[in-house]
Amino acid sequence: MTFTGWPAEALDFYERLEADNSKTFWQAHREQYEDAVRAPMEWLLADLEPEFGPGKVFRPNRDIRFSADKTPYKTHIGAHLESGGYIQLSADGLACGNGMYQLAPDQLERYRAAVAEDVSGTELERVIARVERAGPRVHGRDSLKSAPRGYPRDHPRIELLRHKGLVAWQDWEPSKWLGTRAAYTRITGFLHASQPLRDWLDGHVGPSELPSR
């Protein structure tokens, strides 16, 4: 089926899940999740696949093994695209991301070398400015409070050097358009606007070459 947005029942599901994050609630309302939340996300991914590659819906269960928060379910649905994009729906509305959220050690080494180098570093600054003019905001992740080892504190791109991840992000509060094809338009608009950042990261950082844990 063609994606035509998420019905109001999707937001209602997450509003109620936030109030009662329990297995009892989930089992009683699983059909609502499958029909109003997950099915539209899968239709969206199918529509996006010809241009952005296949996508994967993340599991709704939280990993609580090492968390003090033992609530069993995520209060959002998230999906990842092969091209690097991320889509999320919750009671707060729609959000999209793109970039590299958490750099592995070898990726981080290549990222910092590219940021420090004048040509590639100034190119990244131009890319960020271009992305932000289009609407998304670019954020660093897990940033150091001081300069990384081996780099001067007065480097002209010290703020970028401190980051351990770099992503473009945009979110929208719930509105009537979320239940229409306009949601698809906003998502693809974000993916196009943020692609220059992903291209820079793919070209200068690339995937981790370390063995998987």
Q: Give the pLDDT confidence of 12-33 residue by residue, as tens digits.
A: 999 999 999 999 999 999 999 9
Terminal-residue alpha carbon distance, the chain: 38
Q: Is residue 29 within 8 Å of residue 16, measured between CB atoms?
A: yes
pLDDT of amino acid 210 = 87
Mean pLDDT of 150-169: 96
* pLDDT tens, position by position, 108-145: 999 999 999 999 999 999 999 999 999 999 999 999 99
Amino acid 10: pLDDT: 98
How many Cα atoms sit within 13 Å of 160 on the Cβ side?
A: 24
Q: Which of 2-6, 25-29, 68-72, 206-210 has the lowest mean pLDDT?
A: 68-72
**Residue 64's pLDDT is what?**
78
Q: For residue 103, what pLDDT band results from cuts at 50, 70 and 90?
A: very high
Q: What pLDDT is stored for residue 162 in this prediction?
A: 97
Degrees, nearest 5: CA angle 187-42-20: 95
The angle at the Cα of 200, spanning 199 to 206, to the nearest 5 degrees, equals 85
Predicted pLDDT of residue 213: 61
Mean pLDDT of 153-176: 97
Tell me the C-alpha distance between 76 and 13, whole Å: 10
Cα–Cα distance, 183 to 142 (Å, whole number): 30
pLDDT at 211: 83
Q: Evaluate if residue 185 carries a pLDDT over 80.
A: yes
Asked whether the predicted pLDDT for residue 6 surpasses 70, the reply is yes
Q: And the tokens for 206?
A: 């690339």
Q: In the chain, where are the structural domains located? A: 1-91
* pLDDT tens-digit series, residues 43-84: 999 999 999 999 999 999 988 787 787 899 999 999 999 988
State the average pLDDT for the chain: 96
Quick one: pLDDT band at residue 171, thresholds 50, 70, 90? very high
CA distance 86 to 198: 12
pLDDT of amino acid 98:
98
Total Cβ atoms within 10 A of residue 89: 24
Statement: residue 212 has pLDDT above 90: no
Pair 158, 143: CB distance under 8 Å: no
